[in-house]
Structure 1
Amino acid sequence: MFIVCWSPKGGSGTSVVASALALTLASSGRETLLVDTVGDLGLVLGLPPGDGDGLSDWLLAPSDVSADALSLLEVPAGERLQLLGAGNATEAAINPERTVLAAELLSRSARWVVVDAGSTGAPEPWLVQGACSVMVLRACYLGIQAALARRLAPGTSIVVVEEPGRALRLADVTAVFNGHRVVSVPWDPAVSRAVDSGLLAHRMPRSLNRLNEVLNG
């Protein structure tokens, strides 16, 4: 299965959601690859900072560089979990067609693949045939408006991070995105503490267990 996590607005928690999905898959005995397009996932998983080549370097490589070179860029991130880091190349210089090629290659993997496509609001190059689109959103007016400005792919799942004090509720988001599956994850300070301390991969907060609904749908 090929899962693409993205958000129309920054600060929504896309990297944490992608990491939690990958960790859940790996802990259930499934070989999993986590793909980083932003550069945050190593830190989220508590891995030492890396400065080696990664996805972006492959995307900018000459066309005769083999597809197998992608797998050579992976690093271990836990039991049954590999990480394909973001790399060092400048994102602005990357050809979207090359990204589509990477997505097609990765989507054919026998493993489960989870992509953190970031918050550019432009995940289309990653949404190849058969991809499972997961949009991460906070229940805020600006985030919802940014999402409405896009045409969501059919079958897109929406993960809503519910924060205390917001005027908008889960029911409001569900009504706006009628026809899409909406999964609620409560805002939890334990998640921030786990990420800040590098312990998310070792002690994932129970509040993130709700993401199982994305995998079981």
Structure 2
Amino acid sequence: MIAALVSLHAAQDRDRPVLLVDLCGDLPAVFGAAETSSGLGEWLRSDLAPCSLERVLEELTPNLSLLPRGRGPLSARRADELVEWLGSGAVVVVDAGVLRTQGEGSDCGPDDELRWRLAAEADRSVLVTRACYLALRRTVSLSVRPSGVVLVAEAGRALTRSDCERAIGAPVLATVAVDPEIARAVDAGMLRTRVPRGAIKALGRLSEEL
């Protein structure tokens, strides 16, 4: 959700096009868009030229396009080509999902390898987390330090913003409250037209710095 909202805000305020890359497969549903039968996964396993990715992009708004995940595993075999293509001009936001490390129940798979590679290559990486001891504990093992943090605020949490910054070693760039308005917009398939104002305002600084 944070990746979707940051992308919407950036697309409204910038002359450059914005590209949202979905490594998890949830974003078509988040935007109320049709599920596609092909996407990044199919290209990564093919020998097609990088420019062929443009054919699977889905326009969400006049200035925002989505690169859908597609189906099957996300091979890291063509990571270098993907990184080069992503740096070709648009503002890029990548939803990398949960970054797993070895020892968390199972070895990292191809999807995890690609996610870590894109996080490491990014100009900025943002961790989205709650002010939860168990969530913060996991950040100690991360091999890539985030540039900043988006904190999802929940009532009743004992840990503060400062606690999170000290534990993660990165500044909190935005705090977003758990808001039923976001859930209603997603459930209705209207996130593109019914953009939650409170969340967009909270994420404004982050979007402006892309």
Tell me the TM-score normalized by structure 2.
Answer: 0.84
Instruction: Name the residue aligned to 2:27.
Output: 41
Instruction: Name the residue aligned to 2:59.
Output: 76
Question: Structure 2: how far apart are the matches of 1:130 and 1:47?
Answer: 27
Q: Is the 8 A contact 1:100 1:126 kept in 2?
A: no
Q: Deviations over 1:179-215 (max 9, x none)?
A: 4344211121111111111121112112212112223
Matched, 1:32 2:11: no
Gaps of 5+ in 1: 1-15
Q: Deviations over 1:123-153 (max 9, x none)?
A: 3210354521011111111111111221333
Q: Is the 8 A contact 1:133 1:156 kept in 2?
A: yes
1:210 to 202, 206, 210: 202
Report the alpha carbon displacement of residue 99 of structure 1 after superposing the two structures with TM. 3.0
Instruction: Name the residue aligned to 1:142.
Output: 134
Q: Is the 8 A contact 2:36 2:68 kept in 1?
A: no
Instruction: Name the residue aligned to 1:22.
Output: 7
2:49 to 57, 60, 66: 66
- Give runs of aligned pairs for residues 88-107 of structure 1, distance below 5 A: 88=71, 90-91=72-73, 94-106=74-86
Structure 1 counterpart SS, 2:155: coil
Q: Is the 8 A contact 2:40 2:53 kept in 1?
A: yes
Instruction: Name the residue aligned to 1:196.
Output: 187
Number of aligned residues: 194
Report the alpha carbon displacement of residue 100 of structure 1 after superposing the two structures with TM. 4.1
Q: Percent of aligned pairs with the same residue?
A: 31
Structure 1 counterpart SS, 2:203: helix
Matched, 1:165 2:156: yes
Question: Structure 1: how far apart are the matches of 2:208 and 2:60?
Answer: 24
Instruction: Name the residue aligned to 2:96.
Output: 117
Question: Structure 2: how far apart are the matches of 1:55 and 1:142?
Answer: 32
Structure 2 counterpart SS, 1:52: coil
Q: Which has the higher contact order (CA 8 A, sep 6+)?
A: 1
CA RMSD of aligned residues (A): 1.9
Structure 2 counterpart SS, 1:101: helix
Q: Is the 8 A contact 2:136 2:168 kept in 1?
A: no
Question: Structure 2: how far apart are the matches of 1:53 and 1:160?
Answer: 33
Q: Is the 8 A contact 1:25 1:32 kept in 2?
A: yes
Question: Structure 1: how far apart are the matches of 2:14 and 2:155?
Answer: 35
